[in-house]
Amino acid sequence: MLSIFKSLSLATVASVTTNPVVEETFDINVFQQVVDSRGMVLLVLLVLIAMSIACWFIIAYKWLQFRKLRQQSQSFVDTFWRSETLDGVWDASERLADAPVARVFRAAYTELGRIKAGDATGLGGSYGFENIERTLRRAQQAEQTRLERLVPFLATTGSAAPFIGLFGTVWGIMNAFAYIRPDQPVLQTVTPHIAQALVATAIGLLAAIPAVMAFNYFNSKIRVLMAELENFGIDFLNVLKRQFFRQ
């Protein structure tokens, strides 16, 4: 009896060793879920994908733009303080035409030329300084508008994309119940449609998260550039006032 028990135990161990339990794993193919989507869920997914692609294009474009503007602005400011005359600064502003601070300088310098042409005494007193200050503020506002171009779309995507994805999910889940049949298993019938619906929320979040992060990043860059423009305007007016007092 003992020998039979031992033989059975050895046979059991051998069968477990030779036939291990295989755990079945399932991977979600998001691309396949998108391809299999139909109707309103497919439309929502296409809208979210288009918004995501547009956001990544804006992120790349604005990053390169701010990098270029930062370099040119720094180069122009250095030239401004090294130059002995404003005419030399004007030449630098034409060479660095994309820099916001250079465009602000050109607007103020053009107004300065008009004042000098209408007033032989120089800067036209306080009236001339007020004109230049207004010109600087107007040019700074124009540059802020230019810097903010395309950035609001990132905020729109960050706030709207999750809700658009949620709408697609809700619509897909409601639509999934229409496929229930009495003669078919519920899970096998409903599960694929629910999975497609949930993908809409995932893609909505995937579009919104980088958009919000990029929006905050570019806003900080805009604040830095605007602070530099305001500081340059103050420095430019100080240079003009020193020249006026010398005259």
3-state helix, strand, coil in the chain (%, to 5): 85, 0, 15
Contact 154, 211 (CB under 8 A): yes
Cα separation, 117 vs 122, in Å, equals 9
Contact 193, 179 (CB under 8 A): yes
Q: Is the pLDDT of residue 198 over 90?
A: no
**Residue 230 pLDDT level (bands cut at 50, 70, 90):** very high
Q: Which amino acid is at 201?
A: T
DSSP structural state of residue 149: T
| pLDDT score at 38 | 54
> Percent of the chain scored above 70 by pLDDT?
72
Q: Is the pLDDT of residue 159 over 90?
A: yes
pLDDT digits (tens, 9 = 90+) for 147-158: 999 999 999 999
Among the residues of 37-178, which ranges form H helices?
39-82, 86-95, 100-118, 125-147, 151-176
pLDDT digits (tens, 9 = 90+) for 163-186: 999 988 888 887 777 666 666 665
